[in-house]
Structure 1
Amino acid sequence: MLSHEFNHGIKPEVSTSESIAWLSQRAWVEIDLGALAENVKQLRAYISSQTQLMAIVKADAYGHGAVAVAQTVLSAGADWLGVATVPEGIQLRENGITAPILVLGAAQTREQIQAIASWDLQPTLCSPKQALVFAETLEQGGFTDKLPVHIKLDTGMSRLGIDWQQAGEFVQLITSLPKLEIASVYSHLATADSLDPTIMQLQQQRFEQAIAQLDNLGLKVPKLHLANSAGTLADKSLHYDMVRPGLAIYGYYPAPHFQGRIHLQPVLGVKARITHIKEIQGGTGVSYGYSFIAPQDMRIAVVGIGYADGVPRNLSNKLQVIFQGQLLPQIGTITMDQMMIDISHVPTIQVGDVVTLLGRDRHTEITAEDWATQLGTISWEILCGFKHRLPRVTVNY
């Protein structure tokens, strides 16, 4: 049985996604919570029982809906949640999430620091200046408890983090600050999805050398973590005390060579209604710029979704949709709110029927990876691109 829930709380009494589609009128994103839970269980079974799992739910859970995703992954076996910003963490707390939450981004302002402490979030620290501002703000704010903080080392990503060679000095500073306590030391892998492990191994060596610095200074760290989705699947020696999968939770492999190590199922689908049908003569141009001209008389349908919803305009005349298991070509330039498809060979299709842009219909499937390949980008970008005027509808197959 399926259950459906819009993010704003409406729970229609329905049994199929098609029967609730009228609520969204034109198009929606469908989130399969059953697939999400199974992906977490697959990851949980792949790692040691002694290794914790932090589910990355930043960017509204990669466009899947952070609250519903957080609730599901925690029930399925995740131990921690990772977000990018303070407001993302607050959103989860406001919706009753009590699990530990790591803010992966570098909070800097006093307002952000006060919010982190007030909402029981755990920050990432990347520099001595940032650590001192945290300590001063907490002291001045009258916070009595120590704030758990996570030390980010730059081992080769060249993004956030203090240079790994300064790990000992940095940790010594933080341990001297009365309002802070170290919860973990971590780093981030830049090339774990590559077939060539050289850089990944170099980063791990640097991470190990940094930890050796701490050991030599008698500084004990409660938790170490390094592996993203690719690192988790690439090498179990990267698992340490915790792994931080993101993309894999949502059903995609970071690279093709990871397929088969665990079984992942895409969680997100995109569906839209046919809003209009017409017949055009051969030689007729379709949509802006006439990038498609009908080679013969055709029957075409307008679908109520466009680039303002997150369908890339550069997929114009390349995209396909699925109707009852059959692939139908999109034609003409994708517009802001609509697109056209060729239905010349599907006489039964009607206004109000639903087509699948991403997801499975019968034995046919289109994935975010398919779009990414056509566009020369990555599946992460596709998943994060669907705008919030598309309602999120949760199902549990």
Structure 2
Amino acid sequence: MEEQGYFYRDTWAEVDLDYIAENVKSVRSHLPQDVTIIAVVKANAYGHGDVQVAQTALEAGASYLAVAFMDEAIALRNKGIKAPILVLGASRPEDVEVAAKFAITLTVFQKEWVQEARKHLEGNQSISVHIKLDTGMGRIGIRNAEELISIHQLIAEDERFQFEGVYTHFATADELDQTYFQQQLEIFEKMIAALPNRPKYIHSSNSAAALRFPKAYFNAVRIGIAMYGLTPSLEMEQEIPFTLKEAFSLNSRLVHVKKLEKGDKVSYGATYESEEEEWIGTIPIGYADGWIRRLQGQEVLVAGERSPIVGRICMDQCMIRLPRYLPIGTTVTLIGTQENQFISVNEVAKKLETINYEVPCIIANRVPRLYKKNGKVVDLKNDLLNNYQA
């Protein structure tokens, strides 16, 4: 097919950049205009494609990006992204000069880190930092006002460090019970009140809080899962103030079709046995692609109908029970829409007994991503820098 110009297996994901843009615009219209949107594009933009999503989000109303590690930030810089980028996770103090070189903002949460990092900035290099507060997530962050003030003083003493932001992360913003969320918010407010001066950015809200709690906006919010059209949790589905458009779909094609007789078996362990004559199709996707063995029995869409995966999923292939004979080359949709049927990321997550965040993240990089922009599937592999520079 035409859009497969650079890969040679009939399995691919499609990412609808128009949907991502619409989701960001919906969030933008939901927030006060003076609240900055920080688009979270860590983990290859939750498996959707880092530079493609980053540029789309910036065009749609975000003005800052966030990633997990310096490696991800540098990758975006090397792909032409010039917007501010915040590293949310821990960075080594000896790498601070690299961060300065690439104009990457780092997260600070240890006094010792600041002391060590000061030794590694060269000449007139400078770096922006955000201080992370642990108000109850229990991951990384400063846990009391005294330590916050101490770190703030260290930063203020060195003009090469620009104190640009302070933030925290909510553990339960997507749950109906707001008790723990409220506790975290109160702790955050008390800690930032202890600062002798406030930085440019104060942010606490993830997607869930940004959609639900105006009192937690401050002057910036971090939008992750909602940008991709996915609900932060099933519990809060009814509280989302606008329609989210799911951007990720996963497709394959039949590469082999055969008729089984009653009693014939399929795949490793011979765990599936046909009860009557039936048509079985093979598709080239397996657990090495992130379509893991636990998805045995999950339905897919073929010819506009639901068909189950039968037998154990192999490393590179799996088999489905067809509703009837269908020709080789027929499209199979594992996630997404086909005719009037839809298989959501949430449905696959339920089968895996996990959350929707995990599903696109675990679809391996060897599954090529195609991108829909202005309603058309486009091949961005060969000219990303021409079309997607900030």
Same fold, TM-score > 0.5, yes or no = yes
| Corresponding residue of 1:160 | 140
Mapped partners of 2:198, 2:18: distance in 1: 39
Structure 1 counterpart of 2:115, from 132, 137, 148 = 132
| Corresponding residue of 2:188 | 207
How far did residue 94 of structure 1 move?
A: 1.1
Q: Is the 8 A contact 2:251 2:331 kept in 1?
A: yes
How far did residue 234 of structure 1 move?
A: 2.1
Q: Is the 8 A contact 2:111 2:150 kept in 1?
A: no
Structure 2 counterpart of 1:116, from 96, 99, 104 = 99
| Corresponding residue of 1:385 | 362
How far did residue 323 of structure 1 move?
A: 1.8
Mapped partners of 1:337, 1:26: distance in 2: 12
Secondary structure of 2:256's counterpart equals: strand
Secondary structure of 1:244's counterpart equals: strand
How far did residue 169 of structure 1 move?
A: 2.5
Q: Is the 8 A contact 2:100 2:125 kept in 1?
A: no
How far did residue 145 of structure 1 move?
A: 4.3
Q: Tell me if 1:304 matches 2:284.
A: yes
Mapped partners of 2:304, 2:19: distance in 1: 20
Summarize the alignment of residues 1-397 of structure 1 with structure 2, pairs less than 5 Å apart: 19-21=2-4, 23-110=7-94, 112-138=95-121, 141-142=122-123, 144-165=124-145, 166-214=147-195, 218-256=196-234, 257-259=236-238, 260-317=240-297, 319-343=298-322, 345-347=323-325, 349-396=326-373, 397=375
Mapped partners of 1:33, 1:222: distance in 2: 30
Mapped partners of 2:289, 2:359: distance in 1: 12
Mapped partners of 1:115, 1:26: distance in 2: 40
**Identity percentage over the alignment?**
37
Q: Is the 8 A contact 2:109 2:140 kept in 1?
A: yes
Secondary structure of 2:282's counterpart equals: strand
Q: Is the 8 A contact 2:192 2:198 kept in 1?
A: no
Mapped partners of 1:115, 1:354: distance in 2: 46
| Segment of structure 1 superposing worse, 270-279 or 175-184 | 175-184
Mapped partners of 1:222, 1:300: distance in 2: 60
Mapped partners of 1:254, 1:219: distance in 2: 33
Question: Relative to 1, partners in 2 of residues 1:146 and 1:60: Cα closer, same or farther, differing over 3 Å?
Answer: same
Secondary structure of 1:334's counterpart equals: coil
Mapped partners of 2:144, 2:276: distance in 1: 64
How far did residue 320 of structure 1 move?
A: 1.0
Mapped partners of 2:21, 2:52: distance in 1: 11
Runs of 5+ consecutive residues of structure 2 not aligned to the other structure = 376-390
Mapped partners of 1:297, 1:21: distance in 2: 34
Q: Is the 8 A contact 2:278 2:324 kept in 1?
A: no
Normalised TM-score (structure 2): 0.92
Question: Relative to 1, partners in 2 of residues 1:245 and 1:192: Cα closer, same or farther, differing over 3 Å?
Answer: same
How far did residue 255 of structure 1 move?
A: 1.6
Question: Relative to 1, partners in 2 of residues 1:42 and 1:366: Cα closer, same or farther, differing over 3 Å?
Answer: same
Mapped partners of 2:18, 2:106: distance in 1: 31
Q: Is the 8 A contact 1:357 1:366 kept in 2?
A: yes
Mapped partners of 2:217, 2:38: distance in 1: 11
Q: Is the 8 A contact 1:292 1:332 kept in 2?
A: yes
* 1:132-172 Cα deviation digits (max 9, x unpaired): 1222211xx22x14311100011001111111333222212
User: What amino acid is aligned across from residue 81 of structure 2 in structure 1?
Assistant: I
| Segment of structure 1 superposing worse, 96-105 or 321-330 | 321-330
* 1:89-140 Cα deviation digits (max 9, x unpaired): 1111111111100011110141x212111001000001001111222211xx
Mapped partners of 1:230, 1:130: distance in 2: 31
Runs of 5+ consecutive residues of structure 1 not aligned to the other structure = 1-17
Q: CA RMSD in A?
A: 1.4
How far did residue 258 of structure 1 move?
A: 3.5
How far did residue 325 of structure 1 move?
A: 2.1
How far did residue 25 of structure 1 move?
A: 2.4
How far did residue 368 of structure 1 move?
A: 1.3
Secondary structure of 2:120's counterpart equals: helix
How far did residue 335 of structure 1 move?
A: 0.7
Question: Relative to 1, partners in 2 of residues 1:24 and 1:268: Cα closer, same or farther, differing over 3 Å?
Answer: farther
Q: Is the 8 A contact 1:90 1:119 kept in 2?
A: yes
Q: Is the 8 A contact 2:206 2:224 kept in 1?
A: yes
Normalised TM-score (structure 1): 0.90
Secondary structure of 2:171's counterpart equals: coil
Q: Is the 8 A contact 1:33 1:267 kept in 2?
A: yes
Question: Relative to 1, partners in 2 of residues 1:67 and 1:117: Cα closer, same or farther, differing over 3 Å?
Answer: same
User: What amino acid is aligned across from residue 330 of structure 1 in structure 2?
Assistant: I
Question: Relative to 1, partners in 2 of residues 1:194 and 1:128: Cα closer, same or farther, differing over 3 Å?
Answer: same
Secondary structure of 1:162's counterpart equals: coil
How far did residue 220 of structure 1 move?
A: 2.8
| Corresponding residue of 2:381 | none
